[in-house]
Amino acid sequence: MKDSRKGEALWSEWEGYAYHYSFGDSGVVFYTEDHVDVEHEIVRRALASCLQRDGIVSSLGQAFKLIDEGKIEQSYAGPVDGDMYWTICDDEGYTTEGTEVDTIHEITLVEVAYE
């Protein structure tokens, strides 16, 4: 898997709509554009580095453990009516409320639980 994006830019904290959290208040979700294989070393390391950089863990070892125990989901999302925050949608661009997103983006989400 070749990815031309810089490692630091691969993952961002999800601030969008319609994601159903599995870990409640102790969960945090990160996403990246495209459907990626989180088991791939480069992708995994970029996410682990993001978790460490954001202060969720203090070591890469802890980050890898959270990723292994996390919830990984490939989905679709996009802005609705030009909103800067994306909303989860189906592969045809419709949200659970039946609203159509402006543009459909493939995304991979990873939810991790931390204390």
Domain spans, the chain: 7-113
pLDDT band (50, 70, 90) for residue 85: very high
Q: What is the pLDDT of residue 4?
A: 52
Query: What string of H, E and C letters represents the secondary structure of the chain?
Result: CCCCCCHHHHCEECCCECCCCCCHHHEEEEEEECCCCCCCHHHHHHHHHHHHHCCCCCCHHHHHHHHHHCEEEEEEEEECCCCCCEEEECCCCECCCCCECCCCEEEEEEEEECC
Please write the tens of the pLDDT for every residue from 14-42.
999 999 999 988 999 999 999 999 999 99
Q: What is the pLDDT of residue 3?
A: 53
* 13 pLDDT higher than 90: yes
Please write the tens of the pLDDT for every residue from 41-74.
999 999 999 999 999 999 999 999 999 999 999 9
pTM, two decimal places: 0.89
pLDDT band (50, 70, 90) for residue 98: very high
Q: What is the pLDDT of residue 62?
A: 97
Q: What is the pLDDT of residue 9?
A: 59
